[in-house]
Amino acid sequence: MKILTARQMAEVDRLTSQSAGIPSLLLMENAAFHLYLALLDYFDRLERTRILIVCGKGNNGGDGLALARQLLQRGVSPEVALLAERNQIRGDAAVNLRILESWPHPILEIPSAEAWDEAAPNLDRLDVIVDAILGTGITQPLRGLYADAVAAINETDAFVLSVDIPSGMPADSVKSPPLAIRADATVTFTAPKVAHALNSSQECIGDLYVAPIGTPPSLLDREEFFLHLLTPEDIRRETFIRPVSSHKGFYGDVALIAGSLGKSGAAALCGSAALRSGSGLVTVLTPRSVQLTVASAQPELMTEGLGETETGSLSDSAAALALEKLQGRDAAGLGPGLSLHPETVRLAHNLVAESPAPLVIDADGLNAFEGNLDRLSNRHGLPLILTPHPGEFSRLTAKPVADLLEDQVELTRSFAVRRHLWIVLKTFRPLIAAPDGRLFVSAVGNPGMATAGMGDVLTGVLTSMVGRARAAGLNDVDDVTQAVCAAVFLHAIAGDVAAESVGQESLTAGDVIDCLPEAWDILLETDETPL
């Protein structure tokens, strides 16, 4: 599903009317109908529900006015407050205002902050407030009348439904706005906007509905619309169906270079996650001093003890043997629990440059390249998949975390394209950037997954999925992108299943591994993947 900026959405709406011949007034009518359907999801008897629709003077307000008429047609009598003078209303909104006035139906005019203080309706008696004040065009903080109205609505206990986007939230921003409607649900039209997916104030959006209002799908199929919301339909689930004639070689032989003294758990978690993700064979390459610990964590894991430093991390003398062990592998993971001993850093540089298998690089495997970004490439041209959290990405790019997060879409995308690799940026909404310029946002997962070892599990899942794709002969950019997206999705679904079982506060990385079987069932057998 495409994610659009405000400018892109305006262009799509224009083309819908001018090129496809669908009148903008009809689009507004369809939008109002979907708002009505959303209300029905929460309230069985709307005719007994006390509803106020608060309308601004633009098209967002026009949607609210059209909704008011549609409710009247169905025996529901909402109150309507217009935060403007009637003569200020233009275009399709003015048409819907004239139609509503013909019923007739009372409309409360509140054109100023002073008028709001004097004439604002008693919000505390309401069951529902529809926020049709401001849409996707705003870029500045709220002030005056709009700020007063939004603040007052936020003080009520009423159910709040926002039209298109919560008023006060800029459509293209990932930063929390100073003031915005805190909606229980939001109905947006045609496609989600950037803020719906990535704004850090997700609690303002509530349940998100994406309603089709008549725009031809072909208008969204444009190369410059590179941002996607990851959905079950984006995953080629048929590629994971196991034929009856299967053997373990069908599903990838992968290796994981991980662990050090005191961090053997990272290697064990990574290996167990790769097994639970369906790999046919998993081998963990780890320092000799922790080999037994890793091997005892999961009997199905194979292990290989390598040379180590005096502190129990992998030595650069182990590079030749490690590269030998990577021969013939379908994929490898590098980094969990590795440490940043100077010898281990040199080992990481050698493995990335010379690896004969695609590499998923995480944690200290990434930190090893701080200040050495020019070495982050594979001379064989094999895929590199980076999985940084914001701090690790900041160290790689030498950009402050705050700046990186504010411009995460463009920075992640440009980094992946310029260096021809994949990035999974682990923010609260993971970003998956592909070297062909596509960018995917995963809206699955929960805050309970912000705990130790979760990245190690993701590295195992990713390595498994990339290895499975390669074992199946799926090697081009789109194939690898599919594998990465499927891995991020599967990992997040498992996190949500685990949270339902143990709660977010007690969630551990091991719980996510335990829930991978159920996550597979959800991903493969139904379309009911939680979003």
Please, which residues have CB within 8 angstroms of residue 162's CB and are 6 or more apart in sequence? 130, 131, 181, 183, 185, 186, 187, 205, 206
Q: How many residues does the chain have?
A: 531
pLDDT value, residue 526: 52
pLDDT value, residue 132: 98
Amino acid making up residue 28: M
> Which single residue is written with the structure tokens 């909704």?
67
**Pairing outcome for strands 227-229 and 79-82:** unpaired
pLDDT value, residue 121: 77
pTM for this structure? 0.93
Q: Give the model confidence (pLDDT) of 232-249 as tens digits.
A: 888 888 888 888 989 999
Report, as an integer, the average pLDDT of 108-126: 90
Please determine, for residue 531, whether its predicted confidence score (pLDDT) is greater than 70. no
Percentage of the residues of the chain whose pLDDT score is greater than 70 = 99
Split at pLDDT 50, 70, 90, the class of 341 is very high
Structure tokens at 255: 């290796």
| Count of Cβ atoms closer than 10 Å to residue 479 Cβ | 18
C-alpha span between 361 and 341 (Å, rounded): 17
Please determine, for residue 527, whether its predicted confidence score (pLDDT) is greater than 80. no
Q: Give the model confidence (pLDDT) of 489-522 as tens digits.
A: 999 999 999 999 999 999 999 999 999 999 999 9
Is residue 444 within 8 A of residue 531, CB to CB? The reply is yes
Q: Give the model confidence (pLDDT) of 472-494 as tens digits.
A: 999 999 999 999 999 999 999 99
Percentage of the residues of the chain whose pLDDT score is greater than 90 = 93
Report, as an integer, the average pLDDT of 348-360: 98
The four Cα atoms 328, 333, 337, 340 give a dihedral, to 10 degrees, of 90
C-alpha span between 315 and 409 (Å, rounded): 37
Please determine, for residue 307, whether its predicted confidence score (pLDDT) is greater than 60. yes
C-alpha span between 417 and 115 (Å, rounded): 53
pLDDT value, residue 118: 86
Report, as an integer, the average pLDDT of 384-390: 98
Residue 94 CA, chain-centre distance (Å), reads 37
DSSP state string for 210-270: EE--S--GGGG--TT--EEE--GGGS-GGGGPPPTT--GGGG-EEEEE---TT-HHHHHHH
Please determine, for residue 149, whether its predicted confidence score (pLDDT) is greater than 90. yes
Is residue 123 within 8 A of residue 156, CB to CB? The reply is yes
Q: Give the model confidence (pLDDT) of 151-196 as tens digits.
A: 999 999 999 999 999 999 999 999 999 999 999 999 999 999 999 9
pLDDT value, residue 119: 80
pLDDT value, residue 528: 45
Please determine, for residue 529, whether its predicted confidence score (pLDDT) is greater than 50. no
**What does residue 136 show for φ and ψ, rounded to 5 degrees?**
-85, 0
Please determine, for residue 148, whether its predicted confidence score (pLDDT) is greater than 70. yes
